[in-house]
Amino acid sequence: MSNIVFTTRMKKNEAGFTLLELMIASLMSLVILGLLAHVFRSQQKEFDTHTELNTMQANGRGATEFIARSVQNAGFNVKRGTRFLSASDHSITAVYDSDNDTIIQNNEVITYTIANTWDGTINDNFSFVSYFDVDGDGAIESTENPLINVEMTASGPPFNLYKVTPDATGTGIERNLIAKNIDNMIIKYYDRDANLLPVMNDTDDDGIGDIAFDADNDGNPDSGNWTFQIPIAELNDIRKVEIEILARSRNPSPREVTSSGNYAPGSLAAVTSGSTAYSDLFSRDDFTAQMAPRNLVMAPWGNIDIVATPATVNCPTPGTVTATLLDKNGQAVPATELAFTATGTGITLGSPTANTDSNGDRTTTVVFDYSTPFLTSTVSASAQVIDITGESRPVYNATPVGFTFGGGNFNEPFDGSQTIAWDDLVLGTGFEIPPGQEYFTSSLPGPGVLVGSVNGCAPWQDYIVQTNVSNPTGTFTDDQESYGIILRHQDQDNYNWARVKYFAFGSGTYVVEVGRTIAGTDTPYASVPISISPYDNTEPYTLKAQVQGTEIKAKFWWNDPGTPGTDEPTTWQVTGTNNDFTSGKFGVITTNDTFQFDDLSLENAPPTL
């Protein structure tokens, strides 16, 4: 009975909702969805608004920061030209050595300017002369001063801020987008007395500069022109820069809030838009900054840029020093007497005093007599320039010039790493480096004929030479046969030497001797029998010789590390007096046999004898 009642009730519930109930439920759902959509749209607008504002502020702050950094660094390590190469109401070009390598490259000549595009109708352009290392040789010559021309299109706000640099050749420009949607930008310049530059901008003669526009840079404000350029003569007078940037959102405000305001009369936005007022749905924000260049010229009337080429002179190449006389604006001062002086003994300057050429340059040669192995000389340049008052003012600069025997101590392992080539003497068939990596006589012309090879620098005076020598065939037994070191070489018939020589008389004697060859004739200064017993031709031995002043010394030993008694002798074994040659190259020499030379070294700073 209970089961029947339950079934009946279930059938009654199958009737469901009525049409009225469904209509009421649908209406309520639509109301709720509408409310949710409204909330979503409101939140979406708020999100879009914040995104637009954040982007706008990032553009404004970024634009201000980029320009401020260039202004503050302008002039760092700049020797030619001014710290600012151009300056106008909406662009500025600064130069500074950003990588601190003392040389200005093309990417260190930086222009910031606002524009719309670069490929439309050109209605804004300016140019300036820039000094930078065009040929990439590490120096800036007076001829490396290309004219940089910047052309762009300014059709109306909003603009973009671009970073512009000369290309590496100086024949074009490279540009990078820094910030978008810059509604307007005004740059103002002040001198040390806080007067607005350029000076002609005081149009009403009230002592306060007005924003006037001198597009042709003739010193007279032009009606309707929207750009002024600071004259070259006033660029070095800039002591403070003020930036005013008006940033704009990319899209209209989602809140549909009207933004109204005014562009400064005569500014780029006002002229290109045709109106000084704006009223639209775009959001805007102002960004202002004041900054000063930190690198001011010490001598306000001029300077000397002085460069040594090369900075370290390796014998026998002479050095040169070039000085460029510049006025306070970094421009060349021609036809002005400039004098060079140098410190240190043995330094000779070519034409110490002469006039600068049309580029303001003066070059002199710097020659060292190599009386000492190493020397750093200070070469100075001085001149007098006329300042703005008409008075003559001194200008001075100096640079170090180093001299060495040819790159420091000479080491020749005979493994192909030495870059200074050996020269065979015209006495035989010469030397070669075999697969075993030792320097040896490649073939022999016959008994008594010399085979030699020289290296180094003719002005070298005092030095020590050491080399390992062996005779792998063990045939070093012919009378008058020798091998050794050439010292103070003049030519194939004139030089000093230190050598080991064999005399066949009696039981045979090996001697160490020092001497000379003049006009092809050998004359020993002194000799001593070698102290090594027994002497084995096939073993490697070390021969060491020194020339200093009028003395020549030598020593000879069996150099076998780890074997007692084979260390270098503490004293020289033979000494001779040389009154023939005071300087010259060094080398190796043999007669009538195959000898192998290895691990040759030269010490060009010998101790005092």
DSSP labels, 79-126:
-SS-SEEEEBSSEEEEE--TT-SSS--GGGEEEEEEESBSSS---EEE
Measured between alpha carbons, how far is residue 261 from residues 32, 183, 275, 281 in Å?
A: 41, 12, 11, 12
* Whole-number Å distance between alpha carbons of 150 and 143: 21
* Whole-number Å distance between alpha carbons of 225 and 154: 13
What are the residues whose beta carbons fall under 8 Å from the beta carbon of 322, sequence distance 6 or more?
Answer: 141, 306, 307, 309, 361, 362, 363
Distance of CA 318 to the CA centre of its chain: 23
What residue ranges do the domains of the chain occupy? Answer: 59-93+109-130+150-163+177-291, 302-404, 410-603
Closest of 33, 40, 126 to residue 85, by C-alpha: 126
Residue 90 half-sphere exposure, CB side, CA atoms within 13 Å? 35
Closest of 84, 52, 70 to residue 158, by C-alpha: 52
* Whole-number Å distance between alpha carbons of 516 and 550: 12
Q: Which two tokens stand for residue 384?
A: 């007098």
Q: Which two tokens stand for residue 344?
A: 């240190």
Averaged pLDDT for residues 49-74: 83
* pLDDT score of 212: 46
* pLDDT score of 112: 95
Backbone angles phi and psi of 332, in degrees to 5: -65, 145
Q: How many CB atoms lie within 10 A of CB 181?
A: 21
Measured between alpha carbons, how far is residue 182 from residues 111, 208, 225 in Å?
A: 16, 28, 20
Confidence of residue 226 (pLDDT cuts 50, 70, 90): very low
9-48, pLDDT tens digit by residue?
445 555 667 777 777 777 787 777 777 776 666 666 666 6
Strand partners, 113: 91, 162
Q: Residue 421: is its pLDDT beyond 50?
A: yes
Confidence of residue 589 (pLDDT cuts 50, 70, 90): confident
* pLDDT score of 297: 54
Averaged pLDDT for residues 518-531: 90
* Whole-number Å distance between alpha carbons of 49 and 30: 28
Q: In 3-state terms, what secondary structure has residue 193?
A: coil
Averaged pLDDT for residues 317-344: 86
* pLDDT score of 59: 81
* Whole-number Å distance between alpha carbons of 336 and 326: 11
Cα-only R_g, the chain? 42
**Maximum mean pLDDT: which of 8-22, 296-310, 452-466, 513-527:** 513-527
* Whole-number Å distance between alpha carbons of 458 and 404: 13
* pLDDT score of 546: 94
**Maximum mean pLDDT: which of 261-265, 448-452, 541-545:** 541-545
- On whether the CB atoms of residues 344 and 313 are closer than 8 A, the answer is no
Burial of 104 (0-12, 13-18, 19+ CB in 10 A): buried
**Type of residue at 44:** Q
| Vertex 170: Cα angle to 167 and 172 (nearest 5) | 60
Burial of 387 (0-12, 13-18, 19+ CB in 10 A): middle
- On whether the CB atoms of residues 453 and 431 are closer than 8 A, the answer is yes
Torsion, Cα 129 131 134 138, to 10 degrees, reads 180
DSSP labels, 369-396:
--SSS-EEEEEEEEEEEE-TTS-EEEEE
What are the residues whose beta carbons fall under 8 Å from the beta carbon of 220, sequence distance 6 or more?
Answer: 200, 214
Confidence of residue 577 (pLDDT cuts 50, 70, 90): very high
User: What does CATH list as the number for 302-404?
Assistant: 2.60.40.10
* pLDDT score of 264: 85
Q: In 3-state terms, what secondary structure has residue 46?
A: helix
Burial of 266 (0-12, 13-18, 19+ CB in 10 A): buried
Where would I find the H helices in 503-606? none
Closest of 118, 68, 114, 109 to residue 88, by C-alpha: 114
**Strand pairing class (259-262; 277-280):** antiparallel
Terminal alpha carbon distance of the chain: 138
Averaged pLDDT for residues 329-345: 86
E strand or H helix that includes residue 271? helix 268-273
Q: Residue 222: is its pLDDT beyond 50?
A: no
Average pLDDT over the chain, rounded to an integer: 80
Q: Residue 73: is its pLDDT beyond 60?
A: yes
Confidence of residue 158 (pLDDT cuts 50, 70, 90): very high
* Whole-number Å distance between alpha carbons of 602 and 545: 10
Q: Residue 349: is its pLDDT beyond 60?
A: yes
For domain 410-603, which CATH number applies: 3.20.20.140, 1.10.10.60, 3.40.50.970, 2.60.120.560? 2.60.120.560
Where would I find the H helices in 321-479? none
**Type of residue at 40:** F
Burial of 335 (0-12, 13-18, 19+ CB in 10 A): exposed
Q: Residue 553: is its pLDDT beyond 90?
A: yes
- On whether the CB atoms of residues 308 and 400 are closer than 8 A, the answer is yes
Q: In 3-state terms, what secondary structure has residue 528?
A: strand
